[in-house]
Structure 1
Amino acid sequence: MPISRTCKTALGAALAALLAMPASAQDDEIVTDGPNMRDVARTPLDILNIDPQDIPPVLLEAVANPYASDTLTGCAAINVEITRLTRVLGPDFDTLAKQEGLTPEKVAQGAIGSLIPFRGIIREVTGAAERQRSLETAILAGSTRRGYLKGLGLSQGCMVPARPISTAPVPQEVITAAIEEGDED
């Protein structure tokens, strides 16, 4: 099947944009934040499964055993593991509200993707769809592991980020002030 001139132009523009980006932008490890300009530029590459990106090792470890705890010897080890996951997954729900809605990057990514005819079939044939399903499974496993680790940290009395923020211990002076304020009413 010949590739149309429009597809060739879009692919060329995306490759040029990707190559023009600084190395720091190309090395960004976060896989769950919405699309950025790098993702927009990679859209044709992803659809055609050219130069697929590897799933980060920390997510592959989570897929293998999201509830592994034999090497976690205390709060410091839990904190290190949560930090590794957060570097790849982005902020957890208890630390930062996710940005929802339509962004310019999402619009651009959709527009570039729509220039490739039969992209759904092409993604299946080239293996890009299977790669996307594997990545989504790894993200789910990583998120599950981070939640498990925060629960483990909570049970061991660890401080944030090795426990959910919403259950962090309240300082005694805050509790005392609230009780005293309640007594005055």
Structure 2
Amino acid sequence: MRRLFLLPTLLILAACNAGHSAVEGARTFGAGFGDAATAPLEDLNLRREYIPTVLLQAESNPYDLRNLNQCTTIGAEIARLNEALGPDSDEPPAPDGSYLSEIAADAASKAALDAIRDATTDFIPGRSWVRQLSGAEQHSRHVQSAIQAGRMRRAFLKGMGMQKNCAPPAAPAWFRPSRV
């Protein structure tokens, strides 16, 4: 008798979660709609992607050793880079406990936003030339260069942390400092 009661209860709970996921997906879509619809402004160089200061500093000198004589300062610098770049590839993804319906709603929202972005940028004739002439392509290359420099700096700092026998996050997540 309990099994007969358990199945409808589970179905109701699953349906509630799916409804909640759909609402969250709609909110995500609504939040990103403005950026997708105004994507041509980036092509015309009227709106630019912000480059965090820590990435600009890394781009100017990725191997700077000033004030990096302690594990805490190395870890703090890596934390600043993680904030700008997201987690490093050696760090496991944080378990977010997402339901499959939430993941599906996010994927559907992203696909719809990508379609809108494509539709709004496709109407610009000679888009690649417009990006070149407006300076948008040069800025896009600068953003990618800053990201690459930030990744190089983070790897360099983690190597320095290993050399100084620091514990993570001032070293890779898998590194275990030896006892001295």
What's the counterpart of residue 57 of structure 1? 53
What's the counterpart of residue 161 of structure 2? 153
**Structure 1's 78 and 49: CA in aligned 2 closer, same or farther, altered over 3 A?**
same
Structure 2 unmatched ranges of 5 or more: 1-29, 94-106
Q: Distance in 2 between matches of 1:39 and 1:137?
A: 23
**Kindly, what percent of the aligned residue pairs are identical?**
37
Look up the equivalent residue of 2:89 and give its one-letter code.
F
| In the alignment, structure 1 residue 125 sits paired with structure 2 residue 133 | yes
Q: How many positions carry a matched residue from both structures?
A: 135
- The Cα offsets for residues 142-184 of structure 1, whole Å up to 9 and x where unpaired, read as 000000001111111111111111223599xxxxxxxxxxxxx
Q: Over alpha carbons, which structure has the higher Rg?
A: 2
Bigger relative CO (Cα 8 Å, ≥ 6 apart):
2
Q: Considering fraction of residues, name the structure with more helix.
A: 2
Given candidates 151, 163, 176, the residue that maps to 2:171 is 163
> What's the TM-score once normalised by structure 1's chain length?
0.64
Q: Verify the 8 A CA contact 2:74 2:161 in the aligned structure 1.
A: yes
> What's the TM-score once normalised by structure 2's chain length?
0.65
Q: Distance in 1 between matches of 2:135 and 2:157?
A: 33
What's the counterpart of residue 90 of structure 2? 94
Task: Provide runs of 4+ in structure 1 moved above 4 Å.
Answer: 36-39
**Structure 1's 160 and 136: CA in aligned 2 closer, same or farther, altered over 3 A?**
same
| In the alignment, structure 1 residue 135 sits paired with structure 2 residue 143 | yes
Aligned-CA RMSD value: 2.7
Structure 1 unmatched ranges of 5 or more: 1-19, 22-35, 172-185
Any residues of structure 2 matched to 1:6-155 within 5 Å, and which?
Answer: 39-96=35-92, 103-104=110-111, 105-155=113-163
